[in-house]
Structure 1
Amino acid sequence: MGTYNKGILGPFSGKVGTVVGASWRGKDVMRSLPKKTDRTPTEVQMLQRLKFTTVSDFLTPMSNVISLYFGSGSGELTRRNQAMSYHMKEAVTYADPVFEILYNKVLISKGDLTGVQNPTVAAAPTNKLAYTWEDNSGQGAAKPTDQLVVVVYAPAENLYFTTLNAAFRDDATAEVQLPAFFNGLEVQSWITFAAADGKAYATSVYMGAVTVS
């Protein structure tokens, strides 16, 4: 892929001859058309594709969180690509014939803000999850107004629930109301803090499995 500023016809998009023009991250780029092939993919290639699909399918429903709070927003890689790279390397394992997500390795955010201290989670009546933590406002750049971000996932039904403002750091507790269809399901969840202006965020914490009641 190459970048260009001004061609004889100026920037263009779409296919022209053997190249494709497009705009990518604010730059005008050209890339060659992929060559068609009749080759049957090798077993290694098929496994890599399956691994990629497994991770992508898992992360896509939480894109509203990852796109805000995962890694750096500058550079060549998008936050989504940074999350894909991390989870492909660290948070998936092969259990023939499928790949499985390692929930304890999953990160919904990755940043430098002071994180959640000594958190707990428990099921609460009427489809709620009750979270507690220690108010560590003042540690590093942590502020009382930092917002609790929560992602909940029910593997059996492939259901997701996310919220970007479940509580403030100095609340030290939060009850997250889940939809009624989560009732009776075992869920995995992850929590993190993000600054009120969204410019700083912590690396998330895995909270384990809980059955919604």
Structure 2
Amino acid sequence: MAILKNGAKGGFSGKVGSVIGYQLNGQDVIRGWSKKRTKKPSKLEQANRDKFAQMQTWLKPLLDFLRVGFKNYAPTYQGFVAAKSYNSKHAFKQNADETYLIDPALALVSFGSMPLPQTISMELNGNEIVFNWSKEGNYQGIDQAMVLAYVPKTGEAVYDLAAAKRHTGTAILPMPPNSAGHEVQVYIAFVAYDQSAQSNSYYLGVLSLT
């Protein structure tokens, strides 16, 4: 049984025959009833499944970061789903054996039109990652820096969504003791104070924590 929410011309919620109706991001959506497949997937289909699983796992520790970084990606496409859509298209590189791996240098953890500083750098100071960037440019004084350190070996992430005001030109991200001995992939992005706008994230490279 299905329920017509807005009359005969509106969307519906529930199952009618082989069709399911529901709402997704404020839009009425229908899809076919899923059926168990017995046919072996093609090589391309299997590659797409592997890529989907990789991206799902890679993004999972970043949920809160992505909710801010991809907040304005599209009216009906935001956060984790938007990040998965973008990175599935742009962040994979193909190996010689035709398998795919995520290239962290190609991945974005924030997406937007806010301009990045002309120069950005990082350094390790004890158990802290120190970020520095140039302060010139057109931005609001209350814009903020978002910083992220991703530990691929453990699948953990350390981040701060409001690490410092952009006009200060510097931010610090303390790393927990259990991260010692691991390599981390480091990103920075900038966001308006009310999260109405974001920059693309900037990949700073890999640090080996001691």
The answer to whether the 8 Å contact 1:150/1:191 transfers is yes
Residue number among 196, 209, 212 corresponding to 2:209 in the alignment: 212
Match of 2:90 in 1: 90
Say whether 1:112 aligns with 2:144.
no
Structure 1: which 4+ aligned runs deviate by more than 4 Å?
A: none
How much is the aligned-residue C-alpha RMSD, in angstroms? 2.3
1:194 corresponds to 2:191: yes
1:150 equivalenced with 2:161 (yes/no): no
Equivalent residue runs for 1:1-213 within 5 Å: 6-7=6-7, 13-70=13-70, 72-95=72-95, 96=97, 99-125=100-126, 127-136=127-136, 139-140=137-138, 142-213=139-210
Kindly tell me the number of residue pairs found equivalent between the two proteins. Answer: 205
User: 2: distance between equivalents of 1:91 and 1:59?
Assistant: 12
Identity %: 29
Report the CA distance shift for 1:184/1:116 in structure 2 as closer, same or farther (over 3 A): farther
Kindly state the Cα deviation for residue 29 of structure 1 after the two structures are TM-superposed.
3.4
Cα shift at 1:163: 1.2
Structure 2 segments unaligned to the other structure (5+ residues): none
Shifted more, 16-25 versus 147-156: the winner is 16-25
TM-score of the two chains, using structure 1 as the length reference: 0.85
Change in 2 beyond 3 A, CA 1:143/1:30: same
Residue-by-residue CA offset, 1:19-74 (whole Å, 9 max, x unaligned)? 22322222343332123332111121111100111112111211222222227354
**Kept after mapping to 1: 8 A contact 2:108/2:202:** yes
Change (3 A) 1:73 1:188: closer
Shift of 1:84: 2.1
CA deviation string 1:4-25 (max 9, x = no partner)? 75346x9754434422232222
Q: Residues 64 and 121 (structure 1 numbering): CA distance in 2 closer, same or farther, change over 3 Å?
A: same
Partners of 1:11 and 1:87 lie apart in 2 by 31
Change over 3 Å in CA distance of 1:107–1:27 after alignment to 2: closer
Which amino acid in structure 2 is aligned with residue 204 of structure 1?
Answer: S
Report the alpha carbon displacement of residue 172 of structure 1 after superposing the two structures with TM. Answer: 1.3
Q: Give the Cα separation in 1 of the matches to 2:30 and 2:119.
A: 50
In 2, distance between residues paired with 1:111 and 1:86?
A: 12
Any unmatched runs of 5+ in structure 1? none
Distance in 1 separating the partners of 2:39 and 2:7 = 36
Could you tell me how far 1:199 is from its partner in structure 2? 0.4
